[in-house]
Structure 1
């Protein structure tokens, strides 16, 4: 099982300034699909972060085209045609408590902020940990191009 990070989604969607590894990501996705080596989960956090990256594009044309591609991808998730499934997570007090504590990382949210691991990346780790807590007999990693996040993945 692999959680798809924002860096992967931005490359697949060709988000300007966030897609320098697009060819590599496409090849890797094709390989994952052909070998059936792992199932992919799309964290809620990656959806929110990707949407924010798109909304912050300064060029209106690129913002529109990326938003359209993003909406189309989300529609494929809803219809079960995407190469990944949505990781459904409940945002409640327990989730926020875990986020503040830093989950299984051994450092708090504040400590991670000092070390430049953002709240979104930390939340992807929390989503993965909560997924593992509610399933049994599975392992889960994070497919990411982010070096800091990869250290915890």
Structure 2
């Protein structure tokens, strides 16, 4: 049986961090995380894209107190990743011409970046799919999906 890997999307990370306006499904996400770490075990990877997008969501919070509290929680989670104590590992991706070309071509989705943008799939979501594609290309015996609450992204996940 192939090993299961799931890439953690920004929507999941925002719920876990309780980012105001982005955490309405927190209870469901926490329960799902418990299942993914227990009875429905899989390896979780944190895409670079989710780190950047989550940081942007936090920085754009209108209330300074909320920004500070969320930034501190985000900092703690990222430190846990660095120390190997988080429930997921960082997906180490090489940002090079091959990565950018794959992004422009839309990877395994069959549509280009321009087509996806026209259909409202953002560059961040597309890049998570490219990170997954490139991970699959360098890893054998793995089934990799994206854990997301985003309806459009989940169509490709």
Structure 1 CA distance for aligned equivalents of residues 30 and 140 of structure 2 = 30
User: TM-score w.r.t. structure 2 length?
Assistant: 0.96
How do 1:120-135 and structure 2 match up within 5 A?
120-135=124-139
Structure 1 CA distance for aligned equivalents of residues 138 and 80 of structure 2 = 25
Aligned to 1:51: 55
How do 1:139-150 and structure 2 match up within 5 A?
139-150=143-154
Q: Report the CA distance between 1:36 and its aligned residue.
A: 5.5
Q: How many residues align?
A: 153
Aligned to 1:92: 96
Unaligned runs of 5+ in 1: none
Structure 2 CA distance for aligned equivalents of residues 34 and 87 of structure 1 = 21
Matched, 1:103 2:107: yes
SS of alignment partner, residue 7 of structure 2? strand
Aligned to 2:69: 65
User: TM-score w.r.t. structure 1 length?
Assistant: 0.99
Q: Report the CA distance between 1:66 and its aligned residue.
A: 0.2
1:30 corresponds to which of 24, 34, 37: 34
Structure 2 CA distance for aligned equivalents of residues 78 and 35 of structure 1 = 26
SS of alignment partner, residue 18 of structure 1? coil
Structure 2 CA distance for aligned equivalents of residues 148 and 117 of structure 1 = 7
Structure 1 CA distance for aligned equivalents of residues 102 and 129 of structure 2 = 10
Q: Which runs of 4+ in 1 moved over 3 A?
A: none
Structure 2 CA distance for aligned equivalents of residues 113 and 125 of structure 1 = 14
Aligned to 1:16: 20
